[in-house]
Amino acid sequence: MEKLLNEISSECKAAFSVNCDVEIELNIPENYKRNGDIGLPRVAENDLLRHFTNLSGKNYALSTTFYPLGSCTMKYNPLINEKIAKLDGFNDIHPLQPAETVQGALELIYNLEKDLCEVSGMDYFSLQPAAGAQGEFAGLLIIAKYFKSIKQKRTKVIVPDSAHGTNPASAAYAGFETIPLKSENDGTLSAQKVKEILTPDTAAIMLTVPNTLGVFEKEISEISKIAHENGTLLYYDGANLNALMGMARPGDLGFDVMHINLHKTFSTPHGGGGPGSGPVGVKAFLEPFLPVPRVENKNSKFVLNYKKSKSIGKLKAFFGNFPVLVKAYAYIKSLGGKGLKNASVQAVLNANYMLAKFKEKINVPAGNRCMHEFVLSPKSVLQNGVRTVDIAKRLLDYGYYAPTVYFPLIVEEAIMIEPAETESKETLDQFIETLDKIIFEEAVNEPQKVKDAPVNTSVKRLNEVEAARKPVLKWK
Ligand SMILES: *Cc1c(COP(=O)(O)O)cnc(C)c1O
């Protein structure tokens, strides 16, 4: 570990050099200063330790079990990257420090932007957005501002029914009207249908590739051509980039704007809603619209440029969630190009291995092959009134986190599984065996047991109707 740390630290040595000569004067007004005890409970150290250890044991985590949550990419993220993000030079700096005192941090942001460009085939990135959805929002604001700048009135954004739910929400939030597009039976989009619904006021098409069925859009080049002929821009939802890295680049496929989820693909664990990062990337003609500040290199010094008259402005305090950027950078540098490609290859292989096992027995509406995830539709094999929700709850009894269920909406009784590249064959086999057992043995012979699940968890089956009708919103 020390060796890896050394290697990575030499890569970004400059990042640790903080010039602490600058004195920052603290002028906190008297009325904001605390004037008494804040009243924290006084407990023995042991009790505190036990309290937090017990709480951590209640947490479901990848460090204890498999987390096949489709669409969320719950993979193992090397702990060493957490350690790197905690190095003093990264951790003890303040975003309000003058740029000349945080040159290393700015260099890291600058270099990470370049690396993301290389992985994705885009020309520029802003690392400011704090999540995938905020990256989408930023991308759509950029698109809106671009059309305004060339004096075209385009008000519509096409979003396929196989897109992630945040896509139509972001489009609406950015002021566009969303136009749904139905996918074909094999889960992909037809270029012909895209052509039919394009109008002169279509600003963009938002595509998730691979889509939420885990399927690659085989007509993507054609769709890109048709869209561009219409003056429409192509938005790439890159949250699933871990299926594609090193194999294809959205920029080469014709996309103009995209976001990446660093907290899915690039080494930040994101269960429990921790800080995320959704960098937004663009082709060169859209660079003037990126959020400010931009980190630029002027005469071998890194500076923050706020003077971008066409920018959509500032999206998030400071430079985004900086520690997430550090982890992404460490991850990219330690894996290298080959390693990133291998991660994708392995993710796709793992998903196809599971798919091949399941599809002998359970309907998989979107076909024969998948990318990094796939969606089962067990409706025809479920007996005795057992439903997908019961299967998911029963998996909890076996110690698994439940897969994503009832999504995407276009698949009946959907179970969406994403094994990620970091799981072993043994883990995948065990999960396959357990799901088989629940569906083909328990649901057949002991359906009540499945319907009553979970029984081994600290909280048993919740009454969802009552929870919705009479929500208890206070804990005391
Ligand atoms: C997770 C995800 C998003 C949204 O990302 P957040 O960081 O949760 O906002 C968007 N699209 C796809 C395909 C995703 O998997």
Q: How far is the centre of ligand 1, averaged over its atoms, from the C-alpha of 158 (Å)?
A: 18
pLDDT at site 6: 57
3-state secondary structure of 318: coil
pLDDT at site 16: 43
Q: Is 178 exposed, middle or buried (0-12, 13-18, 19+ CB in 10 A)?
A: middle
**How far does Cα 118 stand from its chain's mean position?**
19
For 234, the token pair is: 């192509």
pLDDT at site 476: 67
237 lines ligand 1 (CB under 6 A): yes
Q: Which helix (H) or strand (E) holds 116?
A: helix 103-120
Sign of CA dihedral 417, 422, 423, 424: positive
371 lines ligand 1 (CB under 6 A): no
| 245 pLDDT higher than 90 | yes
What average pLDDT does range 405-434 have in this prediction?
A: 95
Confidence of residue 17 (pLDDT cuts 50, 70, 90): very low
Q: How far is the centre of ligand 1, averaged over its atoms, from the C-alpha of 99 (Å)?
A: 32
Measure the CA–CA gap between 350 and 353, rounded to whole angstroms.
5
Q: How far is the centre of ligand 1, averaged over its atoms, from the C-alpha of 449 (Å)?
A: 34
Query: pLDDT per residue over 31-57, tens digit each?
Result: 988 888 888 889 999 999 999 999 888
| 420 pLDDT higher than 90 | yes
276 lines ligand 1 (CB under 6 A): yes
Dihedral, CA of residue 60, residue 66, residue 72 and residue 78, to nearest 10: 90
Q: How far is the centre of ligand 1, averaged over its atoms, from the C-alpha of 77 (Å)?
A: 18
| 142 pLDDT higher than 90 | yes
